[in-house]
Structures are given as C-alpha cells and as structure tokens.
Structure 1
C-alpha cells in the first residue's frame, strides 16, 4: 500500500463531465481542482465511454460487447472493447498534457482515477445467456478479479505517465439494488436474488485489497449501505449528503467514529434556479455534524468536498462553476468560517 492517502480539507470531482472534448475537460479539472484533480469520464461519447463501458477498457481477459439490453461478456475483444480502450487512451493523453503544462509531473501531487465497483458492474453486465453476471457466483468472482487486475494496471500506467501518485475511486451506485434484490431479470422468475451482505462485502473487500492503493468507495444513491461501506476496507467513503435521511445518521456517525474520512457531495450536479453561495452549500454538512455531536472542525479535518454526483448531465458552464464552488466551500471549511 502506498503511503499516499486521500487528502481532506480540499475538493475534488466525482468523475463524469458533460462535453466530449477530453483535452478541454482535463485542462479545466486540473485548473479548478489543483489539490486533487481527476481523470474525467465523458459518457456523452457513447458506447465504451459510460461508466460500464469504461470497464471494457480495464477488464483483463474478459472482453465486453453489447446486447439488445446493454453490455455482455464476449468471447473475444470486439468493437466495444477496442473503442473503450481507445477512448481511455485519449483521456490519458489529455490528462498527461494538462499535467505537463501545469508543471505537476514528478511531484507528490496526487491524481484520482475512477472505475465502476464490482457489484454495480456485475449487476449491469450480462452473461452469454442474458442473465446478469451477479446471478452466477463464479462469474461474479471472475469479474471482480479481472476488474481489480485491470484497475491495478491502470493505476501503474497513470503513475508512469504523470510521475505522480494515484488514488482510486470505486463507484457503486447500484449497491443498494444489489443488496435489496430489486434488479429486474430476463423474466419475473429469473430476477437476481438479493445478494447477502456478507457476500457483497467479501467481493468489495477483495477488490480493494487487490488494488493496493488508497481507495474511496462512492455511492451517491439514496439509502447507501453505510455499514457495508464502513467495513469494506476503503480509506474514504463518498455519499451524496442531500440524499441522506434520518435513518442514515447512525451509519455516518459510525464511519466518523471509526476514524474514516468522508467525501461529501454538497454541490448540485445541475444548475439550481438560484446560484447558491458557499454558506448555502455548507448547510447540510454543518447540520449533519451538529446533529451527530461532532465538532465543526470535523469538516476541515475529515471531509473531502465534491459535487453530489457526476456532472455528465450538467452544462459546461455549470460544471466548471460546480468545481469552483466545491473548492470555495472546502476553503471555507479549512479556514473555520462561521456558518450561522
């Protein structure tokens, strides 16, 4: 495990970006998020560029193709896998260029990369017969192992290109559906069963351990399984604060009690009717720590500020504004600003 850990008291992005211009996006992210920029995802480019399609560029010996309903495990690499690899290479070229221009090469400045988590991936990828990979224990294991190996190789490639340490974010937006058994199947009688939490935990733990650099697990869905996330081995847990309910308070408190920092989604991913100031954006986080009985300095010492989720659905202007707002809010937390 690298000694470089996830920083706190600063801001970063979640991953996706609304345009299809990799170079422009990389330049913006490196400029607006000077302390923890990230490799952008540009899902608007189509197949191979969305969260699941990006995995086609990472999986080792498990190529993906498309079916009438989504992505499917294939026998050999085809157009989808080749497209995903080509798009990822372009994104890396763009980030490397922006990194060089910003004078970051060879520094200890970390950068973050994102990948879909193993359970969300298995819930969306089909096997040859059309069933979700989640329904087959062997396929789930193979998919998780392939993903971990691919992410590890991806990290090594980014480190080589940038000469800087790399941190990993695993995105698990489908985790609640996996645990609840609320996913559809090829028929009503063949819907995936609810995956028992111990099995789900073991899968996520195995990938985090294999990646071997600090990992943030991010779940921006409602009712995130906070107990599982806390025990996953991740170094940081990411949630959308605006989606939390009273029922989630104990889980957030247990994460903080365990000494784990939080990536808190506080900046809207689409432009609100009235542009919020940093005090407006801070209110959910301040309310959260107040209700849990933690001192407000926790927001500077244990929190990474992010948008509530990816920015693929935002306009280009708001996306830049969202990153700038996240940075301003992080500075306000770090400076101990008054929020009342």
Structure 2
C-alpha cells in the first residue's frame, strides 16, 4: 500500500522541502506547496500563476481580476518557473509518481473578486473564462513536468475546498448579507471535466461531493477520513470504491499539531474501511494512505516524523485488512 501527502508544507525552502519529502514519500511524491513564501505561493495565488491571458492583482481583501497582470501575479508565475527548475535538477532519474496540486475552478471562482467587487462566482461568463484558462495553464504545467522529469508519472491533484459551499449555495457574498446562488451538478461537473482525466479530486470540506467527482470523470478522490462519519457518507465511499475508483484516505488529522503514531492512523483507517466490507486485496490496490489536508500548520521538525509514521501504518493496515 502506497502513501502520500496533500502537498502543503511549512517553511519557505522549496529545495530543502523537495529533497526531504522525496526521501520519505518516493512512490507518490507531492510537489511541495509553501504558503509561507507569501500570497503568490498560497493556494489561490499559486493557481493564478498558471493562468495566462487574464490579469490579477492582490488587494487587501484578496485576489481580484484586473485588466493587466500585477507584480504579484507575475511573481506567482515566476515562482512556478523557479520551482520547475529546481524540480528538474533535484529529481533527475526519479521514476515514481510526481503529484502536483492545483486549486480548482470553483475554489478560484469563490475566492477571486470581480473588478467591481464580489466574487467571480456571481458572473457566469467570468467564472467560465477563468475555468477555461486554468485548464489550459494546468495542462501546460503537466506537460512541462513530464518534459523535465521524463521518467516520472505526473499526477494532478485538483484541490476544491469550496466545492461543497458552491454546490449548496452557502458561500457568502462580499457584503455578508446574502449567499451566492447554488450551482447545479451538471455545471459543477462541466467545469471540472477538462481537468479530470487521470486526476484526483481533493476536497477537505464536509458534504456529499463524490457524485460530482464521478460525474466529472475523476480517476480518484482524496478525502479527510474524519469527515466520513455517518452511515450515508460511508455508503457513498463504498459506492466510490466499488465503481473501481482510487481513494487517498487522509488518515492524518492535519488540524492537530502533534505527531500521530502509526497505530492511531491504522485505527482511523479501519474505522472507515471495516464497515464497507470490501475485498481486502482489491481494496489495497486502490487505496493510498495520506493526510487529510496540507501539513503547513505543523512544525517543520514534525513533518518527516509524521510522514514516517504514515509509512509505517501502511503495512500494518494491510495486515489488519487481510485478517
């Protein structure tokens, strides 16, 4: 059974983070995301750095669509170029899976403001244009990674923490006095579909989003297992696995600051897997152990011990499932 992590890490040293993470997660290596480097390296700014043809500026309230690219937007694009150069140098000969996380179109639409205020989510044309530009930029990124690390299998993880809020109409407007209109399932899936081929959809918000992932055509889903507690949620998880999809089970609770041991991680994995009563051999081929969300909230010294505990949990879980 393989292990991985969501990708977000503490600190601002990309080369050091990549070198360290490559040693402990050599099979499915997440390209480090370092939000401590600033807004251009945060989840939203990092994704916007892939978008060409649209301009963005960093305002006090966050990122905003503007007529031309601001220095902050250009900095986000430049950061990608620097990280890709370092990745090519440090991962020479790497032949595992290289996983790269990118914020999805609905999270961007719910985070980025229109030129005159409020979120892009309120503008059908603008959110469609942003989704198309993101898909193109992400495709270019994946092609560039394949060129620079040719022996690796490149895997996209699309991060959509706002997907459920967009779907159920709970995302507040800029004024806070009302909510944005809910987006229906077909439109949700349509914006995700160009990014779904062979990719993982990652959402760390509570809600019933796996059907959207399936409708969009994602090969796998990455979940925070602690959000799957009800019988209905576990049934949905069973349906996902029985349909032949991959699952990254985020058993590491990223809201906690202390390192969680292997035994605790196995216990959490068994909590969601035992009730599903799936064939153990089939399950272990489609299951990856991971983190609920990113590890940026951990102390730098705790990252490697936590990932080592996750690696130690994988064979223990296989043994328990086989009984």
Q: TM-score range by the shorter chain?
A: over 0.9
The residue matched to 1:126 in structure 2 has which SS? coil
1:145 and 1:207 in contact (8 A); partners too: no
RMSD: 2.0
Q: Which residue number corresponds to residue 122 of structure 2?
A: 135
Instruction: Identify unmatched segments of 5+ residues in structure 1.
Output: 1-8
Q: Choose from 267, 274, 284 the match for 1:290.
A: 274
Count of residue pairs the alignment pairs up: 321
Determine whether 1:328 maps to 2:315: no
Q: Deviations over 1:207-258 (max 9, x none)?
A: 32xxx5x200001112241221222201101100012121311211110121
Q: Choose from 223, 236, 241 the match for 2:220.
A: 236
Q: Which residue number corresponds to residue 245 of structure 2?
A: 260
Indicate how the Cα distance of structure 1 residues 272 and 339 shifts in structure 2: closer, same or farther if over 3 A, else same: farther
Indicate how the Cα distance of structure 1 residues 90 and 287 shifts in structure 2: closer, same or farther if over 3 A, else same: same
* TM-score (normalizing by structure 1): 0.88
Q: Which residue number corresponds to residue 168 of structure 1?
A: 156
Taking the aligned partners of 1:92 and 1:325, their CA distance within structure 2 comes to 29
Displacement after TM superposition at 1:161 (Å)? 1.2
Determine whether 1:12 maps to 2:10: no
Taking the aligned partners of 2:205 and 2:35, their CA distance within structure 1 comes to 19
Q: Deviations over 1:93-124 (max 9, x none)?
A: 33223212xx42xx4x2211110011111110
Determine whether 1:306 maps to 2:278: no
Q: Which residue number corresponds to residue 93 of structure 1?
A: 85
Superposed, 1:1-340 pairs within 5 Å as 9-100=1-92, 103-104=93-94, 107=95, 109-163=96-150, 164-187=152-175, 191-208=179-196, 212=197, 214-246=198-230, 247-269=232-254, 275-334=259-318, 336-337=319-320
Indicate how the Cα distance of structure 1 residues 272 and 60 shifts in structure 2: closer, same or farther if over 3 A, else same: closer
Displacement after TM superposition at 1:68 (Å)? 2.6
Taking the aligned partners of 1:207 and 1:165, their CA distance within structure 2 comes to 16
The residue matched to 2:180 in structure 1 has which SS? coil
Displacement after TM superposition at 1:339 (Å)? 8.9
Indicate how the Cα distance of structure 1 residues 158 and 206 shifts in structure 2: closer, same or farther if over 3 A, else same: closer
Instruction: Identify unmatched segments of 5+ residues in structure 2.
Output: none
* TM-score (normalizing by structure 2): 0.93
Taking the aligned partners of 2:51 and 2:298, their CA distance within structure 1 comes to 29
